Chain A
């Protein structure tokens, strides 16, 4: 089936540790996005990428890093510099960086601090 796969579904981080969240899509979409959602809140954009080997910071990029070495993959690293990482992380993709095509989302990764 075509879609967006996020893994793991649940992740626990120790103090001072970096963790990486996986996002893979087999939709041949050009653009990919990472969002963070806190309880009772809307989505906030962390990073996005419109093409391989290029990405831009979103509204809350501090403490996070990404890479886009392959079209189908856009991993997010939550670094130890992110002091409040507990949240629900959502990955999305879209067919083109421009135009009116909608974004489609994965099922998310829930990150907690041990």
Chain B
């Protein structure tokens, strides 16, 4: 599974879009990109995942570049409750090994 790189921290004004980048330059063709977030003292919450097409659900949008070497998670209207650590993970769908969590990006939404 490819290694991912994320900035350690980001700030975002409340009500604005939060754009969280992730680099996965060594990703292979059968690896999905998964996003989770963890609010303090809670278990990680699944947000979204995708292979190569952009994905959207009720929580967020996932934009994957055409070469698949990077992606961006977009929270369209950030609220204070979106303050959390966000994890980007690359994982092969043909493998049976579990997800590997790095240190993620700490997003602070500011009023």
Q: Which residues of A contact B (CB under 8 A)?
A: 4, 6, 33, 35, 41-43, 45, 48, 50, 58, 88, 90, 92, 97-100, 102-108, 110
Decide yes or no: A102 and B34 within 8 Å by CB, A41-B103, A42-B101 being known contacts: yes
Q: Which residues of A contact B15 (CB under 8 A)?
A: none
Nearest B residue to A9 by beta-carbon distance? B41
Write out, one digit per residue, whether chain B residues 66-105 have a CB within 8 A of any chain A CB (1) or not (0): 0000000000000000000001000101111011111110
Q: Which residues of A contact B100 (CB under 8 A)?
A: 45
Nearest A residue to B99 by beta-carbon distance? A103
Q: Does residue B24 face the partner (Cβ distance < 8 Å to A)?
A: no
Q: Which residues of B contact A35 (CB under 8 A)?
A: 101
Q: Which residues of A contact B99 (CB under 8 A)?
A: 103
Q: Which residues of B contact A (CB under 8 A)?
A: 32, 34, 36, 41-46, 49, 51, 87, 91, 93-96, 98-104
Nearest A residue to B106 by beta-carbon distance? A40
Contact of A43 among B32, B41, B44, B91 (CB under 8 A): B44
User: CA separation between A6 and B44, bound complex, in Å?
Assistant: 13
Q: Which residues of B contact A45 (CB under 8 A)?
A: 98, 100
Do residues A42 and B102 form an inter-chain contact, with CB atoms below 8 A? yes
Do residues B103 and A105 form an inter-chain contact, with CB atoms below 8 A? no
- Interchain Cβ contacts under 8 Å between A and B, 18 examples: A4-B43, A41-B103, A42-B87, A42-B101, A42-B104, A43-B101, A48-B98, A88-B41, A90-B43, A90-B44, A98-B95, A100-B49, A102-B34, A102-B36, A102-B49, A103-B46, A107-B42, A108-B42
User: CA separation between A58 and B100, bound complex, in Å?
Assistant: 11
Nearest A residue to B103 by beta-carbon distance? A42
